[in-house]
Amino acid sequence: MRKIMMAALAVVAIGVPAGAVAGAPAHHADAGMYGITIKNYIINSSDHTVTLKVKIRGLKMGSMSKKNVAGQGHWNIYVGGKLNNYSVNPTTGKTKPLAKGDYKVYVSLVNNNGTPLSEPTRSKTVSVMVD
């Protein structure tokens, strides 16, 4: 219980917006081998980007390359249904700069070469507002 309270205080301390997602499940409920969940996000007013914190299950992060490695890949960030950026970091990624406005954002696990996994896996969509 104490760890949960300390984690909650840490989230408040870094200024996670009220729209942050806490524990939103992946579209493919825990039945599959892979999963990605947006745990929360932070809107970076200095550069108009959004930093996403994610939890990944079943896939190790590897470099982008033309050759796929079994069990490795990266995750893509989609804004308004279009590919915006990617990350090879297992816990965090960042959009490219966005104009002011409301956006729908989701993330998806992919192979090293960017093709969908044998079990397509994406998060739920979150709404963000960039000022």
Compute the distance between CA of residue 63 and CA of residue 77 in angstroms, rounded to an integer.
16
Q: Under 8 Å CB-to-CB from 76, ≥6 apart: which residues? A: 83, 85, 86, 107, 108, 110, 114
* pLDDT tens by residue, 8-30: 333 333 333 334 444 444 343 45
Closest among 53, 61, 74 to 116, alpha carbons compared: 74
The yes-or-no verdict on residue 78 having pLDDT over 80 is yes
Domain 17-130 has CATH 3.30.450.40: no
* pLDDT tens by residue, 95-104: 999 999 999 9
Strands 101-110, 126-130: parallel, antiparallel or unpaired by DSSP? antiparallel
Q: What is the pTM of this model?
A: 0.76
* Single-letter code of the amino acid located at 53: K
Q: State whether residue 3 is helix, strand or coil.
A: helix
Burial of 10 (C-beta count, 10 Å sphere; 0-12/13-18/19+): exposed
Q: Provide the b/e sequence for 11-28 (b: ≥16 CB within 10 Å).
A: beeeebeeebbeebebbb
Residue found by looking up tokens 């917006």 in the block:
17
pLDDT at 112: 95
State both tokens at 73. 């890949």
69-83: average pLDDT: 96
* pLDDT tens by residue, 25-71: 434 345 689 999 999 999 999 999 999 999 999 999 998 899 999 99
Tell me the sheet residues that pair with 75: 87, 109
